[in-house]
Amino acid sequence: MAALRYAGLDDTDSEDELPPGWEERTTKDGWVYYANHTEEKTQWEHPKTGKRKRVAGDLPYGWEQETDENGQVFFVDHINKRTTYLDPRLAFTVDDNPTKPATRQRYDGSTTAMEILQGRDFTGKVVVVTGANSGIGFETAKSFALHGAHVILACRNMARASEAVARILEEWHKAKVEAMTLDLALLRSVQHFAEAFKAKNVPLHVLVCNAAAFAVSWSLTKDGLETIFQVNHLGHFYLVQLLQDVLCRSAPARVIVVSSESHRFTDINDSLGKLDFSRLSPSKSDYWAMLAYNRSKLCNILFSNELHRRLSPRGVTSNAVHPGNMMYSNIHRGWWVYTLLFTLARPFTKSMVSDCLVAGSLF
């Protein structure tokens, strides 16, 4: 079951693995006990380790604990519309030993957003995710929405954004999610988005600057700047400046800037070590799409670091994140060569679900 997989129940340690005929259960108040179906008995101690355990944290968002007519505790997963007698928190048990608290939670390259957010309740939090109609932006927005946050999908294409909202509501009809227009290639659109958001009179706890252009032909925006530079960096830079006062009033708040490991393979300084502005928004003759992308990602990191330095004293932190070696997304749609390369590499890279950005957004 998917619910058990993202809770980690299919990954057991040899020490904690139950002998045949045994089942792990929980009481209503969270204590773990063990049922032996062969001998028809129950006990508090693990049959192999002799340890007593209890579950840690709250139920995942969308889950509810109920009791059947026989007094047996069972769990309802409202998101996936199923019931089970297995507590989804069993992957996160702790020993009943206050001197040696040991959680079994693990994060690695296959960790999903649902695992990272296990037990988190973002009710009352407002999250804005740019470029959230597809890819890791969508998965990030969905994960926050399924855990109670009010999520705003800030997208250029409103038709696709509305479809994304509908997909989230299909999974959880009570999700608080909406779409707003934001075209980072047009600074006027960035300003209009900020004005419309402020008109809602809501706080802003998490701003995920995720939208990006990659492998596109050289072009200038209506503002006269090279497209990759404006979409990936300058548009987000302007957006944060316009929403800075809201972020500070909402503290603790956080800005997540999606960068890339590829920022290491470029430079924005001239031969004298001074910033070369012509490299940020190059002319057509000096343009190479991959290099332009790398430079924009370097700008992301420099911006995030300086933003954190300035705003962290006011309760607003900023983190630049590399989402991992995930390649299979729509970001490479600009050129068929990149699409081919990314498709060939797909079996060796992270999935979209395991590449969400929520880890960097937790308080």
Ordered per-residue pLDDT tens for the chain, 363 residues = 444 444 444 444 456 788 888 888 887 777 888 888 888 788 888 888 888 888 877 788 788 888 877 777 888 888 888 888 888 888 777 776 544 444 444 566 666 777 777 778 899 999 999 999 998 899 999 999 999 999 999 999 999 999 999 999 999 999 999 999 999 999 999 999 999 999 999 999 999 999 999 889 999 999 999 999 999 999 999 999 999 999 999 999 999 999 877 656 577 767 677 777 778 889 999 898 888 999 999 999 999 999 999 999 999 999 999 886 654 455 545 555 555 555 555 555 555 555 565 545 555
The CATH number of 22-95, from 3.30.70.1140, 2.20.70.10, 2.40.50.180, 3.40.50.1360, is 2.20.70.10
Cα 20 to Cα 24: distance, rounded to the nearest angstrom: 12
The answer to whether the beta carbons of residues 361 and 254 sit under 8 Å apart is yes
Q: In CATH, which superfamily holds the domain spanning 113-361?
A: NAD(P)-binding Rossmann-like Domain (3.40.50.720)
Cα 149 to Cα 56: distance, rounded to the nearest angstrom: 22
Q: Could you state, in order of their start, the residue ranges of all structural domains in the chain?
A: 22-95, 113-361
> Which is catalytic among the residues 34, 293, 328, 338?
293
Which of 179, 175, 172, 185 has the alpha carbon at shortest distance from 238?
185
Q: Which residues contact 256 (CB under 8 A, 6 or more apart)?
A: 206, 207, 208, 209, 210, 318, 319, 321, 357, 360, 361
Q: Is 293 a catalytic residue?
A: yes
Structure tokens, 65: 């604990």
One-letter identity of residue 347: P
The answer to whether the beta carbons of residues 220 and 204 sit under 8 Å apart is no
Q: Which residues contact 290 (CB under 8 A, 6 or more apart)?
A: 215, 262
The answer to whether the beta carbons of residues 326 and 136 sit under 8 Å apart is yes
Per DSSP bridges, beta strands 22-26 and 32-36 are antiparallel
Cα 129 to Cα 208: distance, rounded to the nearest angstrom: 5
Distances (CA, A) of 165 to 16, 129, 201, 216: 41, 12, 21, 27
Is the pTM higher than 0.85?
no
